[in-house]
Amino acid sequence: MHHTMVPSDRVEHVAVHSWDGAKLGIIERLMLDKVSGTVAYAVIKTGGLLGSHHHYPILWSALKYDAKRQVFETELTMRELRAGPSEFDDETFDWGDRTRSYPHPHYWTV
């Protein structure tokens, strides 16, 4: 049966690759806009030195599922991801804060 629904728990923990083939990380969680009922963005958890992790927001619309490889693809590169906002493990980054402005055009344009 062909349809366009996907369960949230089959999106979480799926790998995200850059268009250049590099693995950026995995989808840690989705951020939902309660009022509009939309998926605003995904939080990507990247691997790091000594088991530490960075957490980056990527717009949901910037992620494309590749069914063959079973990964999400994005046009962002790791370099671009690193240039944007992020959280480092237990920091209390406010993901929903829209009063901040972020440099990358893929963010916050929902």
> Which of residues 69 and 79 has its CB atom nearest to a copy of itself in the complex?
69
> Which of residues 90 and 97 has its CB atom nearest to a copy of itself in the complex?
97
Helix or strand or coil: residue 25? Answer: strand
Cα separation, 42 vs 56, whole angstroms: 8
Interface residue with a copy of itself, options 14, 15, 30, 78 (CB under 8 A): 30
Interface residue with a copy of itself, options 20, 23, 38, 105 (CB under 8 A): 38
> Which of residues 60 and 76 has its CB atom nearest to a copy of itself in the complex?
60
Cα separation, 53 vs 42, whole angstroms: 15
- The 59-78 site mask, x for binding a copy of itself (CB under 8 A), equals -xx---x-------------
98 near a copy of itself, rule: CB under 8 A: yes
In our burial notation (b when 16+ CB lie closer than 10 A, e otherwise), range 14-40 reads ebbbbeeeeebbbbebeeeeeeeeebb
